[in-house]
Amino acid sequence: NAGVMQNPRHLVRRRGQEARLRCSPMKGHSHVYWYRQLPEEGLKFMVYLQKENIIDESGMPKERFSAEFPKEGPSILRIQQVVRGDSAAYFCASSPYTGNNSPLHFGNGTRLTVT
Amino acid sequence: TQLLEQSPQFLSIQEGENLTVYCNSSSVFSSLQWYRQEPGEGPVLLVTVVTGGEVKKLKRLTFQFGDARKDSSLHITAAQPGDTGLYLCAGDLNFGNEKLTFGTGTRLTIIP
């Protein structure tokens, strides 16, 4: 039973390029969350999606960032015109349902470096 | 503003010793989770506490949720080198786990 799969594991982009991060949730999980971890900081919530719907994007920067979770295929976090401050580890998590006892399963992250 | 403060930030102790790490907030959480994160990997859930005053044990790890659901502690007995890692607490303000608030973590090193 594969866990949450994120790819690529490492991504290097030059300033101004686009970054596309992919996340395949665990089998049977329809809830996907994206978090960002800056160096020496805790994880910060970005967005929560269910299939084809963005439920809560209150943690997403207003510009350049977007996320989707289509009916078929992985969830995508897209960062347009990247800047050095976007360099971070981006983690995806999935869960089978919501609620206090809903376990979150994290992937191993994509480490984005903007040069 | 950091909603969840973890202390200490770094802790280095000898194998066999006991330790406690703390997670404090001025906010009330509907539940609180503890994770462990290894370098290059994602956080792995250790435990979820829901009820004020709740105590959960996981082998040598004891987790406690404060009575007012604003703080939590993690106590490790007879620490082993395998306990080395980054320990993160995460609180849920909304009864849904959708938007967890993470602490900055305690980086624990157990010296053999």
- CB < 8 Å to B33, chain A: 104
Contact A12, A113 (CB under 8 A): yes
Q: Which among B4, B42, B99 has the least Cβ separation from residue A48? A: B99
The 10s digit of each residue's pLDDT in A50-77 is 988 999 999 999 999 999 999 999 999 9
DSSP state of A51: T
Contact A79, A18 (CB under 8 A): yes
- Predicted local confidence at residue B18, as pLDDT: 98
Our measurement of the distance from residue B29's CA atom to the centroid of its chain's CA atoms, rounded to an integer in Å, reads 14
Give yes or no for a contact between B74 and B83, defined as CB atoms under 8 angstroms apart. Answer: no
Compute the distance between CA of residue B6 and CA of residue A99 in angstroms, rounded to an integer. 24
Minimal C-alpha gap between B98 and chain A (Å): 7
Q: Looking at residue B1, what is its pLDDT?
A: 56
Block mean pLDDT (10 aa), chain B, length 112: 86 97 94 93 94 96 96 97 96 77 94 96
Residues of A with CB under 8 A from a CB of B: 4, 31, 33, 35, 40-45, 48, 55-56, 58-59, 91, 93, 95, 98-109
Q: Give the single-character DSSP code of B36.
A: E
Cα(A87)–Cα(A72) distance, rounded to whole angstroms? Answer: 28
Which of A16, A76, A25 lies closest to A46 in space, CA to CA? A76
